[in-house]
Amino acid sequence: MNKQGLNPYLPSWEYIPDGEPHVFSGRVYVYGSHDRFNGHVYCLNDYVCWSAPVDDLGDWRYEGVIYRKTDDPLNPAGMMCLYAPDVTCGPDGRYYLYYVLDKVSVVSVAVCDTPAGKYEFYGYVHYSDGTRLGDRAGDQPQFDPGVLTEGDKTYLYTGFCAIGDKSRKGPMATVLGSDMLTILEEPVFIAPSQPYSANSGYEGHEFFEAPSMRKIGNNYYFIYSSIVMHELCYAVSEHPTTGFVFRGVVISNNDLHIDSYKPAVKPMYYGGNNHGSIVEIEGKWYVFYHRHTNGTNFSRQGCIEPIVVRNDGRIPQVEMTTSGPNNGPLKGYGEFPAYLACHLFCKEEALYTGAPGEWMDSRFPKITQDGKDGDEEVGYIANMRDSASAGFKYLDCQGITKVTIRVRGYCRGAFEVKTSWNGESLGSIPVDFTNEWTAYSGNIVIPDGIQSLYFTYIGQGGASLASFEIA
C-alpha cells in the first residue's frame, strides 16, 4: 500500500456513517448519510461520496456532493434530512440511489450515469397501479433501504423495528422490475422483530434497522443492526427473500462479546447505533461500520475491519482496531493523531454514547475537534480525567525507547503508557496546566513486536490528548 490504512478511514473532520461499500470499475465507493459536527440530530448534511482504489484502502478521494436534500420534490425547502442510502448498478448500466427522507415513509430513487456523479431525482418505488410503497393501507413504514440487483430484478430491503413495537413485524424484501421503481413482488418479512422472535434463533439479536444484502457464492448474507444497536449481525439464506437463519455478530462498536483480550461484557468504547455492510475487495472481505464521537449520537465516523468468511459460511466477530484498513499492523514509529483511538474508556463504564445521566455529565472522554462543521481541524481526545484511557491497536514496534505526547488542558498528573488495557505501566509522562498544545516526553521502552498501546491519565483536572509519537 502507498499509504497506511487507518480507522477512521476518512479525514477526522468528515462524518459519514451508515456506509454501504460497493466496488465499481476498480474503485471502492462508500455511500452513507452525512452527519454534521455538533449537529443536533442525525444526517443534517447532503450526500457526499468518497472512493479509493481497490489496492489501496489508505488513499481515499473526495468525490464531492452527489445529491442534495432539496433535490427531492417532497423536500424543496430542505426541511427533511436524507437518511441512510444505498446504491446499485441497474440492468441499464446506470447507478441508482435509494433513500428515505426522515419524515416520510416512502422510498425515493435518484439516478446517475457514473458511480459518483451528480444524481438526479428519478421517482418513487411504487406498486403497478402507481401507489407509492409505504402509502397503501396496511403498508409498514419504509426505512433504511438496501438494494441488490441480479439480472433484471432488484431486491429492495427496508424496515425499522423498535423493541416492543408490535406494529412492526420485521425487515421487508420487495422485488422491483427493470425500471428500478415498479414492484414485481410485494413486501415479505425476512426476519423477526423483537415481539415476534420467540423460538426463531434471533433472540437477543432481533432486527432493529440498517438492512443490507450481499451474495457470497450461492448464499445471501443479510447484514443488519440488532435491537442492542451497537452490533452488526448477519443471517444467511439460499434465497434472497426467504429462509434466513441467524448466524452471529460481525462487529460491535463497543467491542462487546469479544473475550480474547478482555471480559466479553466489558465495553471498550462508547457505543451506539451501528450501520454498515460487508464487501469483497481484491479477494478479501471487509466490514464497514461506524463509531460515535463528540459525546453525542449525531457525529458518527466510518471505520473498516477485515473479516474472514470461513468455509462453513460463518463470519467470526472481529475487533475494533486503529489499523483495520491496513490489512496488518501499522508501522510502529512516528506520530499518530489521538483521534485514531479505537478504545476509549474510564473506570466508570458506559455501553452507549449519549445515555441520559451518563455521557453528558462530563465523566467520560470524547473524540472531538475544534471549529465548526466543515473546518478541516484534526480531531483529538478531550476530557481525559483520572483513569481515562485511549487505546490504539495494532502497531509493529521495533527499537522504541522514547514516547512523546501532545497535551493541553487544566490538568496536573501523568499519562501512563501500557501495552494492554489493564497491564502494568511501562512508564509515565508528567503533564501540567497549559492552554496550548505542549509536547511532553519520556524515555519509555516499548517491547519489540506487534503491540497495542494505551495511554491512561492519572491526576487532577481534565487533559486533552492531540497525538503520541514513538521513536
> Could you tell me if residue 194 is inside a domain?
yes
Q: How many domains does the chain have?
A: 2
Q: What pLDDT does 355 receive?
A: 58
Of 278, 301, 328, the one marking the end of a domain is: 328
> Could you tell me if residue 5 is inside a domain?
no
pLDDT in tens, 29-75: 999 999 999 999 999 999 999 999 999 999 999 999 999 999 999 99
Q: What pLDDT does 469 receive?
A: 98
Pick the closest to residue 162 from 253, 276, 273 (CA basis).
Answer: 273
* Set 14, 18, 20, 206: catalytic member: 18
Euclidean distance between CA atoms 283 and 391, whole angstroms: 30
**257 in the same domain as 128:** yes
Of 271, 301, 328, the one marking the end of a domain is: 328
Collapsing DSSP to helix, strand or coil, 45 comes out as coil
User: Which residues are bridge partners to 368 per DSSP?
Assistant: 380
Whether 396 is catalytic is no
**322 in the same domain as 205:** yes
**418 in the same domain as 364:** yes
pLDDT in tens, 106-136: 999 999 999 999 999 999 999 999 999 999 9
Structure confidence at residue 3 as a pLDDT band (50, 70, 90): confident
Sign of CA dihedral 131, 136, 142, 145: negative
Asked whether the bond before 29 is cis by omega within 30 degrees of 0, the reply is no
> Could you tell me if residue 11 is inside a domain?
no
% of residues, the chain, pLDDT over 90: 97
* Set 46, 86, 144, 209: catalytic member: 209
Of 269, 303, 328, the one marking the end of a domain is: 328
**271 in the same domain as 130:** yes
Any idea how long the chain is?
A: 471
Whether 18 is catalytic is yes
CATH of the domain at 446: 2.60.120.260
- Whether the predicted model's global pTM rises above the 0.85 cut: yes
Task: Find cell 471498550 and name the residue.
Answer: 268
**246 in the same domain as 185:** yes
**389 in the same domain as 282:** no
Cβ-contact 47, 67 below 8 angstroms: yes
Structure confidence at residue 357 as a pLDDT band (50, 70, 90): very low
Euclidean distance between CA atoms 141 and 103, whole angstroms: 10
Mean pLDDT of 285-309: 97
Q: How many CA atoms lie within 13 A of 400 on its CB side?
A: 30
**292 in the same domain as 155:** yes
**345 in the same domain as 309:** no
**71 in the same domain as 178:** yes
pLDDT in tens, 273-292: 999 999 999 999 999 999 99
Task: Find cell 488542558 and name the residue.
Answer: 409
**294 in the same domain as 351:** no
Render 386-450 in DSSP notation, one character per residue: TT-EEEEEEEEE-SB--EEEEEEESEEEEEEEESSTTS--SEEEEE--EEEEEEEEE--PBPSEE
pLDDT in tens, 165-178: 999 999 999 999 99
CATH of the domain at 68: 2.115.10.20
Mean pLDDT of 191-198: 98
Q: What pLDDT does 300 receive?
A: 98
* pLDDT of 193 above 60: yes
Structure confidence at residue 361 as a pLDDT band (50, 70, 90): low
* pLDDT of 360 above 90: no
Range of the domain at 201: 20-328
Euclidean distance between CA atoms 247 and 226, whole angstroms: 13
